[in-house]
Structures are given as structure tokens and as C-alpha cells.
Structure 1
Amino acid sequence: MEHRKGILLESGTNELEIVEFSIGKNKFGINVIKVKEIINPVQVVPVPHSHKHIEGVIELRGEVLPVVDVAASLGMQPSETPLQDKFIVTEFNQQKIVFHVHNVSQIHRISWNQIEKPSEMYQGTDSQIIGIIKLQGEMVLLLDFEKIVTEINPNTGISIQKVQKLGKRERSDKRLVVAEDSPLLRKLLHDTLNEAGYFNVEFFENGQDAFNYLESLAQSGRNISKEVQLLITDIEMPQMDGHHLTKKVKDHPQLSAIPVIIFSSLITDDLRHKGQIVGADAQVGKPEIAELVLLIDQYALL
């Protein structure tokens, strides 16, 4: 994965690289930043009573890693040529997971504004597609790997119980803006932030919509500090990613004072510098919702 070095050093360009892979005849993509390496299949040890989408575990350089059958998780047929399959070794949400796919073809560098959001006709809280990319006359579907993992193990997701452990919370009048593309995560964030006492939350499904809203407030002549006390953003979003959103906010003369917290599965030691470069005030790795709440308490403008 030598190509990752360039993209790891850049931030705020609104670009990403995706690894294109296939399940049957369908083409999918995963952000290259999540990918540690791609290997040929190795022996998988089945684990009794594990989730039906878990094939088992493998040992890789001394680590025991779970293997997820992507075809099974998508309700698709198993591979017809298993000897040609690939294992994509990933790291996100503070864990390493192996995804079993049928083939890995190539890597594409694209802009987030090339990624179309799924239509409401087929997207909902059960959708596993977060974006559609048109490449060379074909469609590549960007998968929501966080959702796939959360469905297998709900404990890896955002939990309202984690906020409840913070103790009784007072209701806050602070107004927050949240940019998050996943319908499921928007619902979870809504519920957990309400539990934390934050009821004035405006949600947007991508960075472009969030920035348009903030810019419209600035253009209206209203006092921004009274309209918005904090911006929370994911990184991976169609149209405009969280790093580019943060950069545009911090470069804007009327918006730059708004504190920005990046809340993403991509917050790792290797990638934290990307948020720092664009001026994020704080960064939290999903699913640490309690840590996010404590940072909101700290950074939300009075």
C-alpha cells in the first residue's frame, strides 16, 4: 500500500482514493485510508456461535483478526472462484478487521464531489451504500463499512448508555451543527446528544450542505456566535468531506471562530495530523460518544 503515503500527507483537498473491488458482478469501493493491505486468502478458523457474517478468524503477523464475508453481509451469492478471492485488511473505528471480497481490481483517485448521495428511493437506515461513483461508464458503490461492522457487533457502535454513564445532564441551549452522511448515525447522534442535554442540533447529510447553511447565516448579517456554537463533522461524506469543510470554515472570515470537532472512524495516530492541518479544534474517533460529549461541553461557544 505504498500509494497511501501521498494521500496520508494531504488534507483539505476534498479528494480521496478508493480501492475498487467486486462481489459477483457488482463493483464496490472502500476508502484507501482504511486499508492496511490486501492479501490472498489464508486459512480461516471458524468460531463457534459467531455472527453468521463472520467466517472466522485468521492470524496475521501475530494478531488474531476477524474475517467478514462481505457477500453474505450484502445478501449476495458466494464467490464462484474462491481461489481468486482477496482479503482486504482494514483499520477503522479503532479496530482491525478483514473483509473477504471476490476480487480487487484497481485504485481510483477522485473528488468527493464526484460521489453522488444515494436516492431516497433506496436509501434508508438499512442501506449499506453511502455513495455512488460513476467511473468509465460504470457505477461503483461506496459501502458503509462502519454499518456492516455495527450490525455484526452493536457494541462497536454509538451507544446511548455511554452517555448515561456521565450522570444526570442539564438541558443546554447551545446550538450545534452536525455533518454526517449516514442516516443511521444521524439518528444515533440525535438520540445520544438529546440524552446529553443538547436539543438544538441541526443535521446535514454532507459537508457541502452544512457549509452552505453556515455561509447563509454569515451572509444574512446575523451574529454567527449566537447562531452556532459548535460544528461537529464526519470525514467521509459525498460532495464535501469533513477535512475540506473544516478548512473552508476556518478560512472564512465570519465563520472561523466556530469550534470544529471532527468525529470519525478515521481518527488514528497516522491520520490525526490531517485534522490539525485544516484547523480542527478537537478530534474524536468513533464510536466514543461520551468523549465527544465532554468535548462539546468544553468547546461549544458560550
Structure 2
Amino acid sequence: MSKILQTVDQRTQLVGENRLELLMFRLAGRQLFALNVFKIQEVVKLPKLTALPHSCPHVVGVTHLRNQTISVIDLSAAIGGPPLRNREDCNLIVTEYNRSIQAFLVGAVDRIVNLNWELVLPPPKGAGRSHFLTAITRMDDDIVEILDVERVLADIVPYETSVSEDVLDRDLVDFALSRELKILMADDSLTAYRQASATLSNIGIETEYCPDGLTALNRLKEQARNGVDIPREYLMLVTDAEMPEMDGYRLTHEVRSDAALKDLHVILHTSLSGSFNQAMVEKVGCNDFLSKFQPDELAQKVQNFLREQIQSGRLV
């Protein structure tokens, strides 16, 4: 089963070309679900699990893989479906999100598909599981639901959005509040956006939300056409890497290619691996990269840039 991901290193060339690869699988029924291959370390048949007393009800145990102990989450139960009972036919998808390793208990693993992000759409409003989805796509005659793992994990491990006192610069907070500074954020996970927005409010920064890269680009272009000075309107753009219709890499490329937008400071804020993203930052022209989700690091990078802007005289 782990051979399904053997060529993942070759797939890194897809990112930055507005393409992605999805691992499709099923849970308790026939509905197809998917996760991005880049967040998956391996897929294995369900090994022996050890019960973990007093854990979240969706954590069905722990297992030992590659010299580390990993929590196993029943993904069906975690998104409001029936628990997976027939364990003999189950698999584990081992993933890395937000600097932590976890495994998701799933049913049958289907296959990997290669798609253009333009074929991946936001979930319809009001859909039954929409709060656990970041996107949907169609494969053959089936709708594939792409899960918001950050939303799933937020229900299991409560997230922290406060900023440490030794990181917080009160003078910069007062300055940001007095100037009503704001940041444009593009992220297909509303949970991830809320985490970041709550953190930035601690340092006096307002945020505007876009659910994908295309929405963010269109908003910026429309404002520029209306005479708005974009680098003055927004302190910076903070963008996720993976988003429907246009990913963060292509968004950055389009921003850098537009004379009215090219000077906008761009931070890539993503749960994908740091070493890979550092290379992509240089390729597409991002100013910085930040792994999700570290409140102090996000606050520090924003404050550092704000301090530079003040010292240079661009913000007075």
C-alpha cells in the first residue's frame, strides 16, 4: 500500500503550476473523499492499535510507525459520520499537518489523481458536510469531497491564538491600531483563517478574508482599477498554498506580474513542509514563508515587517 506514494518527490514539480494530486478514499459508505498527496507521508494497512485512556472519542488508539508513536483518528466519526467498525478492511493515512504527525483511519483507498486547481471548486454553501470540506471536484461521474483537515484537528486539539508577552510589541500594536492597518488573507480553510485572524487581532491588525487565490487576485485587481494603492491599502498578503481555482503559488506569480500589485509583501502561510516551500518561495517570488500554525511566529513576522516599514519611512 505504501507504494502508492513512492513517486511523491517527482510530484513536487506540479506545485507552482496550479496543479495538485489527490489521494482518494472512502470512509463508511460509497462517497469519495480526498486529501492532497503532499500532506501524506504514507498509506498502510491498519496495524495493531493500543488504546489511549481518556483521549478524544474520535481517537481510536495509537500505533508505532517509523520509530514514533502516532495518534489514530477515526476520520468518519470525526466529520460526523458513523465510526468505522469493520477494521479488517481499513487503512491508515499518515499525514503531517501544522508540524505534527497523525494518522487517519479510513476505509478503502481508491487511487491518486492529477488535477488542475481550476477544476477544484469551493463546496456549495449549505452542504451537509460543508464545514468539514475545503473543496469539491468531479471524477468520472462521482463528486469528490476534499476534507479540511485543519478543521478536523481543531475539534480534537484546541488551538491557541494568543501571542506571548515577550513577542508582543505594545508600541507596534498602538501604531497598527491608530493606522487601522489590515492584511488580506487567502485560505480555503475557514478554521485556519480564524486562527490567524484571532492571532493578528492581538497585535492590532485587521484582516480581510478570501476563500481562494482567484478571489483574492480579483479583489486586488478590482481595487487597483478603482485607483487604490494596494501596498498602502494592505500591509501584506498572507496566502495559503493549496486553494481551489488558484493556489497560493500561482496567486503570488500573478501578483508579481501585475504592475499595480507587484510591490505587495507576500507571506506563504501553509501546513506543507518547510524545506519544499522554501524552494517554492524563491521560485514564485514570495517574500517569506511560515508554517502553520504558530501564533508567535506569525505575530513576529508581521511585527518585523511593520517595524521595517516604519524605520524606512514608508509608514509614517
Q: TM-score, normalised by structure 1?
A: 0.91
Q: Deviation of residue 237 (structure 1)? A: 1.4
Q: Any idea what SS the aligned residue of 1:161 has?
A: coil
What is the letter of the counterpart of residue 218 of structure 2?
A: N
What is the letter of the counterpart of residue 261 of structure 1?
A: I
Contact 1:267–1:283, Cα closer than 8 Å, also in 2 = no
1:107-143 alpha-carbon deviations (Å, 9 max, x no partner): 011111211212222379x811111111101011000
1:187-222 alpha-carbon deviations (Å, 9 max, x no partner): 3333322221113x2211111010011112333344
Q: Distance in 1 between matches of 2:6 and 2:241?
A: 22
- 290, 295, 302: which is aligned to 2:296? 290
Contact 1:10–1:274, Cα closer than 8 Å, also in 2 = no
Contact 1:118–1:129, Cα closer than 8 Å, also in 2 = yes
Structure 2 partner of 1:249: 255
Contact 1:177–1:231, Cα closer than 8 Å, also in 2 = yes
Contact 2:58–2:73, Cα closer than 8 Å, also in 1 = yes
- 31, 53, 59: which is aligned to 1:54? 59
Q: Any idea what SS the aligned residue of 1:213 has?
A: helix
Q: Any idea what SS the aligned residue of 2:26 has?
A: strand
Q: Name the CA shift for 1:203/1:78 in 2 (closer, same or farther; >3 Å).
A: closer
Q: Distance in 1 between matches of 2:231 and 2:220?
A: 11
Alignment of 1:67-86 (within 5 A): 67-79=72-84, 81-86=86-91
Q: Distance in 2 between matches of 1:176 and 1:240?
A: 19
Q: Any idea what SS the aligned residue of 1:280 has?
A: coil
Q: Distance in 2 between matches of 1:61 and 1:188?
A: 31
Matched, 1:12 2:13: no
Stretch deviating more after TM superposition (184-193 or 19-28): 184-193
Q: TM-score, normalised by structure 2?
A: 0.87
Contact 1:11–1:277, Cα closer than 8 Å, also in 2 = no
Q: Deviation of residue 160 (structure 1)? A: 2.6
- 106, 111, 134: which is aligned to 1:106? 111
Alignment of 1:95-134 (within 5 A): 95-122=100-127, 127-134=131-138
Matched, 1:65 2:70: yes
Stretch deviating more after TM superposition (188-197 or 26-35): 188-197
Contact 1:17–1:108, Cα closer than 8 Å, also in 2 = yes
Which of the two has greater helix per residue?
2
Stretch deviating more after TM superposition (105-114 or 177-186): 177-186
- 165, 173, 197: which is aligned to 2:204? 197
Q: Name the CA shift for 1:80/1:289 in 2 (closer, same or farther; >3 Å).
A: closer
Tell me: higher relative CO, structure 1 or 2? Use CA pairs within 8 A at least 6 residues apart: 1
Contact 1:59–1:65, Cα closer than 8 Å, also in 2 = yes
What is the letter of the counterpart of residue 31 of structure 1?
A: N
- 90, 99, 112: which is aligned to 2:95? 90
Aligned residues: 297
Matched, 1:215 2:213: no
Structure 2 partner of 1:32: 37
Contact 1:206–1:237, Cα closer than 8 Å, also in 2 = yes
Q: Distance in 1 between matches of 2:86 and 2:282?
A: 44
Stretch deviating more after TM superposition (88-97 or 169-178): 169-178
Q: Name the CA shift for 1:165/1:101 in 2 (closer, same or farther; >3 Å).
A: farther
What is the letter of the counterpart of residue 110 of structure 1?
A: L
Q: Segments of 4+ in structure 1 off by > 6 A?
A: none
